[in-house]
Amino acid sequence: MDFSLTKEQEMIKKLAGQFALEVLETVAAELDESHTFPIENFKKMAALGFTGIGVPREYGGTGGGAIEEVIAVNEFAKKCMSSSAILSIHLIAPHAINKFGNEEQKQKYLPRLTKGGELGAFALTEPNAGSDAGAVKTVAILDEDTNEYVINGTKCFISGGSRADILTLFALTQPEKGLKGMSAIIIEKGTPGFSIGKIESKMGLAGSETAELIFEDCRVPASNLLGKEGQGFKIAMQALDGARIGTGAQAVGVAEGALDLSVKYAKERVQFGKPIGTLQGIQWYIADMATKTESAKMLVYYAAYLKDAGKAHTKESAMCKLNASENARHVTNMALQIHGGYGYMKDYPLERMYRDAKITEIYEGTSEIHKVVIAREVMK
């Protein structure tokens, strides 16, 4: 088995690493303090081709697949989790349209979501439909006279929802069928009847806005239906399989960033006349952090490999997300312990990284839901 990256992947890794160091790291603390969405940085990502990863070049993308996405998201997360999350979540929209959209939809939306620098979002969660996605209540009823869907309902906790130009919305087009009546619909920013509600104040990822979306007799053309009526749940679950790999990459990235800082600090911090890195207790912390992070990374890459190969990867996506997110919490916690009082201060990035890491155990499916998914796949 070959674990090496191709020349193109090495170039992406180098470019993403430089961008993270020169652009993202310099504003990471400011974004966290000011709760500012880094729209200019997102446009820079688009100019460099990151927002088109996994989309064919004929639609403005840069090609590649899940492995290329993992590389970029991972490098970004080492320096700024908010920016990493923005890219990872954005990519769900163009990937869904590329896979399930018709040619007209691909021509219309993909260039805008890739080289055009427009932001995408994935609108599934509702106040009573979190882990239980089948409890969605938002409806989209076809008005046959105008050939438009009339949408009513509320979405919550939508990452980037307040800033997104193009959303993939999940609603019941045939409410009487329940889950089998769910469909995916493309909605553009500024559509009458679509408004932004509450912007959430969060524990972490302060640079990535999370919003409530409100639909009141919002009308969109029937041609905006993604796939077929009743395919919404299938589209959502397949999209989440990919999104979980992206979350795993975020979690590995923040763990690697925390580990790098810990190694540097352990070599420089002198106590009792010698660097604390010479103490066996600190060395064991470092060894544990490094081993678990490398293991998590391999599982993320394996899930990405399976996705790119067109093989079933539901189990592996859930496994990599569960493992990497729990490791991110563990490693950032150990890194804080190594840094002692300094790590607890906002002058150091670890306090932010510790808060940011926690969300990886919650969004795109909680750890508990992933255990259900894994068990179901193993036992079937």
Q: Which residues are catalytic?
A: 364
Burial class (CB in 10 A: 0-12, 13-18, 19+), 274: exposed
The Cα-based distances of 51 to 56, 106, 167, 172 in angstroms read 12, 15, 15, 29
DSSP code at position 173 = S
Length of the chain in terms of residues written: 380
> What distance in Å separates the CA atoms of residue 42 and residue 174, rounded to the nearest whole number?
37
> What distance in Å separates the CA atoms of residue 331 and residue 262, rounded to the nearest whole number?
10
Residue 128 in tokens? 């009573």
Residue 196 φ/ψ region, left for φ over 0, alpha for ψ in the -120 to 50 degree band, beta for the rest:
beta
Tell me the residue ranges of DSSP E strands in the chain.
120-123, 139-143, 148-159, 166-172, 182-188, 194-199, 210-221, 225-226, 270-271, 274-275
> What distance in Å separates the CA atoms of residue 43 and residue 5, rounded to the nearest whole number?
27
> What distance in Å separates the CA atoms of residue 237 and residue 170, rounded to the nearest whole number?
11
SS3 36: coil
Q: Phi and psi at residue 115, in whole multiples of 5°?
A: -70, -15
CA geometry: angle at 154 spanning 114 and 217, to 5°? Answer: 90
Residue 255 in tokens? 């763990």
Q: How many CB atoms lie within 10 A of CB 203?
A: 11
